[in-house]
Chain A
Amino acid sequence: MRTFVIRRLLQLIPLLLGVSLISFFVMHLAPGDPTALFTDPSIDPIELARIRANWGLDQPVIIQYFYWLGNVLRGNFGTSYLTGRPVLAEVIERLPATLLLMIPAYLITLLITIPLGVFSAIKKGSWFDNVVTVLTFIGMAMPSFWLGLMLMLLFSVQLGWLPTVGMRDVLAGNQGPVASFIDLIKHMILPLTTMTILSLAGLSRYQRAAMLEVMDQDYIRTARAKGLPERTVIFKHALRNALIPIVTIMGLSLPGLFGGAFIIETIFAWPGMGRLGVLAIFQRNYPLIMGIVVFSALLIMLGNLLADIGYALVDPRIRYGKK
């Protein structure tokens, strides 16, 4: 197991190099110049050349890449073109807001998805299963931003129950910690619901399929043949095995949650990493884009690794490293 983890961690290095190389070249080979967005058009050409040299843009792309890589290896992700602050600080500052949505969305999804998928599978073909199936398909077929807009339209614009965008109300901050906390929760509800519904749909389908497959196995027939009550068959024999694939999916759904965060944070003006990333792209803020790409890629890869480890832990049939 230990060798497996170390080997997998080492494999992250070429992957991260590949990710950073591709993003770097995609950005830098594009026509146009990021300085145009940050400077006055009437700027003195000498001054402009100085800024370009300062940002390293006067060098060939490959040199720029190795320069960037050298700095990253020393823990320096460069500074944001817009604010002049270190990229790492900007990203880390935004991370809590993103996690504040992602972690609850993730947990709520798991809490709902497992019973939903399992019961649909047990009652395959019943009205409950049909309703869940249609709803999950609808959930998967909805554009994330549209779901967000519709929730906003209903609960903020029409009913006026919840705030439309942002994370905090300016006034609520002055009314003590309780009011400020309630305010935060109110702002969280819509983006959180949007995120949860989206990841819920796909996962429930997957859990249902996993449960159906297990229910078809010989050992379930054996358990039934032994005369065990259906409850024991389902909860002791089937469910435990049907939970194994969900561990993988938990890791594999991270990129989706992350991708969702870019769009959902943008519609709800939620001050997280996703919105920062989308703004950085619009502004061609190269160092910031690179920082966010590397950071999210790393999180996605670690998520996959954790899923594989979790898989080995819950399934005794799988033992990595011992062949």
Chain B
Amino acid sequence: MGKNKLAIFGLSVLVFFTALAIFAPVIAPYDPTEIVAEDTMGPSTQHWFGTDDYGRDIFSRAVYGARISLTVGLVAVSISISIGVLLGALAGYFGGWTDSLIMRFVDVMLSFPSIFLILTIQAMLTPNIYNVMVVIGITSWMGVARLVRGEYLKIRELSYVEAARAIGCSNKRIIFRHILPNAQAPIIVAATLGMAGAILTESALSFLGMGVQPPMPSWGNMLMDAQAYMRDAPWMAVIPGLLILITVLSLYFIGEGLREKSDVRS
């Protein structure tokens, strides 16, 4: 199947969801945290996605939830990419003991079952949206670090880097101005897939009650509420999950499209 078509499909969906998130106050017909109708009403023309266990409008909550879930994903992935690029660049560029030290640290971090590490850190902090972003960010940079290190190992041997060194460029300048732009393609692919991962992790954390706290809606904590009403209000469980699925799928398609285009290998 045309990877391009899938990527364009993914991009359109993502743009649409981003628009929903940005214009949530205009689009959402009701206040997402107010009780606006009877509880657990099925989908209807007034309430497209039905109402939840408190009688809040699920469509409005889903629209605001897009705001929370996309923001958490974006900020978390920015943190993990920053850490990963910095450590990977230092390890790959300098080599030697800097490299050994950083890569052993990566090995240690990769030896945790990641969700368990995230839960442990999160349980020790006050569970709120900012901590969720930071915790996901600081526990998911290892793959990026390995990837960036590999790129730097390769690029630092190229003659233009030697030329830069010969004309007296500082290490800092070579690392960030000369090598980084040439390593950006795989980093962008990793960031796209990383954002998908961050959204999934956020939903799992919120689902376990350790992420975004009610009454603020996130797709994950809407699912947590849904669990107790599987028999009476199955739409409460179906809709937020579908939204997560579609968002993550779109990011994967975009990532694959970019990978294909820039000829980056997995």
A262 to B104 Cα, complex, angstroms: 26
Q: Which residues of B contact A137 (CB under 8 A)?
A: 249, 252-253
Establish whether residues A145 and B207, one from each chain, have CB atoms under 8 Å apart when the complex forms. Answer: yes
- A 273-313 to B, binary, CB cutoff 8 A, 1 in contact else 0: 00001100110100001001100110011000000000000
* A 17-47 contacts with B by CB, 8 A: 18-19, 22-23, 26-27, 29-32
Query: Please, what's the 1-or-0 string for B201-213, where 1 marks a CB less than 8 Å from any CB in chain A?
Result: 0011001100000
Interface 9-residue window, one of A52-60, A88-96, A149-157: A149-157
Among candidates B121, B204, B234, residue contacting A153 with C-beta atoms closer than 8 Å: B234
B113 within 8 A of A: yes
Distance in angstroms between the alpha carbons of A263 and B200 in the assembled complex: 12
The answer to whether A149 touches B245 (Cβ under 8 A) is no
| Cβ < 8 Å to B, chain A residues 62-102 | none
Contact count band on B: 35 or more
B230 and A140 contacting across the interface, CB-CB below 8 Å? no
Q: Does B258 contact A (CB under 8 A)?
A: no
> Residue of A at shortest CB range from B209?
A282
Q: Contact check, B230 vs A157: say whether CB atoms are below 8 A apart.
A: yes
Say yes or no: A15 contacts B111, CB within 8 Å: yes
Q: From known contacts A26-B121, A157-B231, A281-B120, infer whether A149 and B241 are also in contact, taking CB-CB under 8 Å.
A: yes
**Neighbouring A residues of B204 by C-beta, 8 Å:** 143-145, 263
In the bound complex, CA of A27 to CA of B117 (Å): 10
With A and B bound together, what is the CA distance between A157 and B253 in angstroms? Answer: 33
Q: Is A130 a contact of B1 with CB atoms below 8 Å? A: yes
Given contacts A150-B241, A297-B112, contact A281 B123 (CB under 8 A): yes
Using Cβ atoms and an 8 Å threshold, which residues of chain B touch A145?
Answer: 203-204, 207, 223
Establish whether residues B119 and A255, one from each chain, have CB atoms under 8 Å apart when the complex forms.
Answer: no
Interface of A is mostly: helix
Q: Which residue of A lies closest to B122 (CB)?
A: A281
A282 near B123: Cβ-Cβ < 8 Å: yes
Q: Are B120 and A27 neighbours in the complex by a CB distance under 8 Å?
A: yes
Complex Cα spacing A262 to B204, Å: 11
Residue of B1, B104, B111, B252 contacting most chain A CB atoms (<10 Å): B111
Most-contacted residue by chain A among B105, B120, B248 (CB, 10 A): B120
Q: Which residue of B lies closest to A30 (CB)?
A: B124
Residue of B nearest to A297 (CB): B111
Chain B residues, CB < 8 A from A130: 1
Q: How far is the CB of B44 from chain A (nearest CB, A)?
A: 21
C-alpha gap A263/B210 in the complex (Å): 13
Q: Contact between A150 and B237 (Cβ–Cβ < 8 Å)?
A: yes
Interface flags for A192-216 (1: CB within 8 Å of B; 0: not) read 0000000000000000010000000
List 23 A-B residue pairs with CB atoms under 8 Å apart, sorted by A's residue number: A32-B124, A134-B1, A138-B245, A143-B207, A143-B241, A145-B203, A146-B203, A150-B237, A153-B230, A153-B234, A153-B238, A157-B234, A209-B266, A258-B113, A259-B113, A259-B114, A259-B115, A262-B113, A262-B116, A267-B227, A278-B119, A281-B116, A292-B116
6 interchain residue pairs of minimum CB distance: A30-B124, A18-B108, A146-B241, A141-B248, A141-B249, A259-B115
Given contacts A149-B226, A255-B111, 15 further A-B contacts (CB under 8 A): A15-B104, A18-B104, A22-B109, A26-B124, A137-B253, A138-B249, A140-B252, A142-B245, A149-B223, A149-B237, A259-B113, A267-B227, A277-B116, A281-B116, A297-B113
Residue ranges of A at the interface with B (Cβ–Cβ < 8 Å):
14-16, 18-19, 22-23, 26-27, 29-32, 125, 130, 133-134, 137-138, 140-146, 149-150, 152-153, 157-158, 209, 255, 258-259, 262-263, 266-267, 277-278, 281-282, 284, 289, 292-293, 296-297, 300-301
